[in-house]
Amino acid sequence: METFSDSLSTAFRLIWSADPELADIVLLSLRVSLTAVFFAAFLGLPLGAALAVGRFPGRQAIIVVLNGFMGLPPVVVGLLVYLLLSRAGPLGEHGLLFTPSAMVIAQTVLITPIIAALSRQTIEDAWREYEEQLRSLGASAGRAALTLLWDTRFSLVIALLAGFGRAAAEVGAVLIVGGNIAGVTRVMTTTIALETSKGDLALALALGFILVGLIVAVNAAAQLTRQWALRHYG
């Protein structure tokens, strides 16, 4: 059993030397989570805008459910997607289980409510300020929703980021539908869980540093973008 400081120095050496196994894991993590953010944005931003601007029966109920789904447990999402994709499930014929695609699907399900609920809040606040002016100029509800999506773009980055943070950091969903297969579906979080239980702390620690570093860096970049936008666009 290595000592903690041995693990630590091995971890830094792995990062410093850009160890190929480590790099593959990090890249797969990024690929899966960023793809999930892309699809979740594609679904969640229009949904958020429609809920912010539209007035239709059931709107309030959808908002309540959406807000509740922001806290969906990843293992439950993993289980549901597993049932959908397993051989006997409705989508079983596509053979997606235990592939990165399955992980993207699970994370998309997990973070779409987050992106939709946060963007709904942002856009609704803007709508309160803009509604009379946009209606006066003759904007339809759909047109107003598009205008607001564009006008709040710098704030919506925060919603996307919350989704990315959630996706990159969760372990339950990707573990269940991905299976943590070395070289195929092994991502940062699942590797950390596995290597820690095996007692190989160096790789787990290295991945932990990279994961935290990535999330801090992405948040910092978004914060700076937002500050720049505030100064530049008001």
Partner 1 sequence: MNNGRGSVFPLVLDQVCFSPKGFPIVDRVSLAIDAGVRTVILGANGAGKSVLMRLMHGLLLPTSGRITWCGRDQRAEAQAMVFQRPVLLRTSALRNVAYGLKLAGMPRAERMKRALDALKRVGLSHLSQRPARVLSSGEQQRLALARAWTLEPRILFLDEPTASLDPTAARDVEEVIREIGATGCKIVMTTHNLGQARRLAEEIIFLHRGRVMEYTPANVFFHAPRSAEADAFIKGELP
Chain positions contacting partner 1, by CB under 8 A? 129-130, 132-139, 143, 147, 150-151, 153-154, 229, 232-234
| Shortest Å distance, C-beta 154 to partner 1 | 8
The number of beta carbons lying within 10 Å of the beta carbon of residue 137 is 11
| Shortest Å distance, C-beta 125 to partner 1 | 13
| Shortest Å distance, C-beta 17 to partner 1 | 45
Is the torsion defined by CA of 66, 216, 22, 11 positive or negative?
negative
Please list, in sequence order, all residues whose beta carbon lies within 8 angstroms of the beta carbon of residue 74, skipping any fewer than 6 positions away.
106, 110, 170, 171, 172, 173
Helices 201-233 & 188-198 angle (0-180, nearest 10): 150
- The SS3 assignment for 123 reads helix
For partner 1, the closer CB: 139 or 203: 139
For partner 1, the closer CB: 93 or 132: 132
For partner 1, the closer CB: 7 or 155: 155
Are residues 11 and 205 in contact, defined by beta-carbon separation less than 8 angstroms?
yes
Q: For residue 33, give the nearest of 167, 219, 160 by alpha carbon.
A: 167
For partner 1, the closer CB: 79 or 229: 229
| Shortest Å distance, C-beta 142 to partner 1 | 12
For partner 1, the closer CB: 17 or 227: 227
| Shortest Å distance, C-beta 173 to partner 1 | 36
